[in-house]
Amino acid sequence: MRPDSPVSGPTRADALALDAVDPLTGFRERFTLPKDVLYLDGNSLGALPAHTPERLRRMVEEEWGQGLIRSWNEAGWYDLPRGLGNRLAPLVGAAPDQVVVCDSTSVNLFKVLSAALRLRPGRGTVVSELGSFPTDLYMTEGLAPARRLLIGRDGDALEDLLGEDTAVVLLSHVDYRTGRLQDMAAVTARVQAAGALMVWDLCHSVGALPVELDACGADFAVGCGYKYLNGGPGAPAFLYAATRHLTDARQPLSGWFGHAAPFAMSPDYRPADGVGRFLTGTPPLLSLAGLDASLDVWEDVDLASVRAKSLSLTSFFLRLTDALGLETVTPRAEAERGSQISLRHESAYAVVQALIARGVIGDFREPDIMRFGFTPLYVSHTDVWDAAEALRQVLDTREWADARFAARASVT
């Protein structure tokens, strides 16, 4: 690496100085990462916590292998979806007994959107956003009787679409493509003033910044276990329902795990008291074990420090990419920024592939976005500087133009 390029941006020495005063540096060793990789994709799949393999081994060899079916009671399997919900609750600003860990974000979206629609009889419209992560749009499409309106289509803003028929508004707290952060308190208040319920998708904010669902008065929320939370590939998602809705809310995937007394084996469904009514079927215990292990790390984390470091990392990267003359689509105002920087480039896919070939892992999002996620627990300012330097070289040398970087893989 050249010691002080890019020319007009901050230097590697600046990065080292910032790392020297980073209160989170100790967390890096709690993750296992390959030596030759700079990982800027923890917003898509979080890294492996160092003690997760031991937790998985225990689940497989001891709880399953030796405990067999006894582990449902003796190893606490049965209570795990609620128990992990309570461990996760502080990360989303929720008092206990409003969060469960279960299913995927997509499935949980279906449950909370359906429940919210039923809580607003006489209203039939769901408002979401054209630029949303596609599964959020697809799941609202699957809510058969609901009318769907999209912010951003025909230039409409939220205010233009909120009306007497609006039952629910679904928004991402941080936009997966641009990294824009919404003002959760203000938007929730606006939606509720129009008589609708507010559902937040926290996939790109949980574990990246403090989230205050209770304080903002959110109605429902969902989020991912495998991104910033580091629960492992395909880790179960979570679902939040505010206490005030827990008596009346009914969700349509009324499986036996959400029943008040599953082992009564009654022919009729009766929802469990509390947030457990949002469960559906038998949970994937092996995957829950991965999330269980990752939540051990979060117990020791101060979210204000995570946010401060996240902004420091993204700001540092922005200064470097500004020096390279690259166009950013992520808001420059810190209050409107999540924990990623998205850059526009006409050959974005090939540039990202060329970076990956150098061990600098970011990702590509349609149509022309290079996306770099900054996970404060295991990414340093020096990593950021080295990644920007690799980007500079890939662009300067047109390394990305090599034919082998043009072919699309099935996961981008």
Ligand X SMILES: *Cc1c(COP(=O)(O)O)cnc(C)c1O
Q: How far is the CB of 378 from ligand X (least distance, A)?
A: 19
Please report whether residue 203 would count as binding ligand X according to CB under 6 A.
yes
Task: Show the site string, 226-245: x = touches ligand X by CB under 6 A, - = not.
Answer: -----------x--------
Q: Of these, 201, 292, 389, 399, which contacts ligand X (CB under 6 A)?
A: 201
Query: Catalytic residue at 201?
Result: yes
Please report whether residue 111 would count as binding ligand X according to CB under 6 A.
no
Helices (H), 183-260: 184-193, 213-216
- Residue 237 has phi, psi (to 5 degrees) of -95, -175
Please report whether residue 382 would count as binding ligand X according to CB under 6 A.
no
Start-to-end C-alpha separation, the chain: 28
User: In angstroms, how far is CA 394 from the centroid of its own chain?
Assistant: 29
Q: How many CB atoms lie within 10 A of CB 289?
A: 26
Minimum CB distance to ligand X smaller for 228 or for 400: 228
Q: Are 163 and 125 in contact (CB under 8 A)?
A: yes
User: In angstroms, rounded to a whole number, what is the distance separating the alpha carbons of residues 283 and 288?
Assistant: 8
Residue type, 176: Y
Minimum CB distance to ligand X smaller for 46 or for 271: 46
Query: Catalytic residue at 349?
Result: no
In sequence order, what are the residues at sequence separation of 6 or more whose Cβ sits closer than 8 angstroms to the Cβ of residue 396? none
State yes or no: cis peptide before 367, omega within 30 of 0. Answer: yes
Query: Catalytic residue at 371?
Result: yes
Please report whether residue 104 would count as binding ligand X according to CB under 6 A.
yes
Please report whether residue 204 would count as binding ligand X according to CB under 6 A.
yes
Please report whether residue 106 would count as binding ligand X according to CB under 6 A.
yes
Minimum CB distance to ligand X smaller for 114 or for 380: 114
Query: Catalytic residue at 226?
Result: yes
Please report whether residue 399 would count as binding ligand X according to CB under 6 A.
no
Please report whether residue 136 would count as binding ligand X according to CB under 6 A.
yes
Query: Catalytic residue at 82?
Result: no
Selection from 162, 150, 152 nearest residue 192 by Cα: 162
Q: Of these, 39, 77, 110, 176, which contacts ligand X (CB under 6 A)?
A: 176
Q: Are 196 and 169 in contact (CB under 8 A)?
A: yes
Q: Which residues are catalytic?
A: 133, 201, 226-227, 371
Q: State the residues that interact with ligand X by CB under 6 A.
A: 104-106, 133, 135-136, 172, 176, 201, 203-204, 224, 237
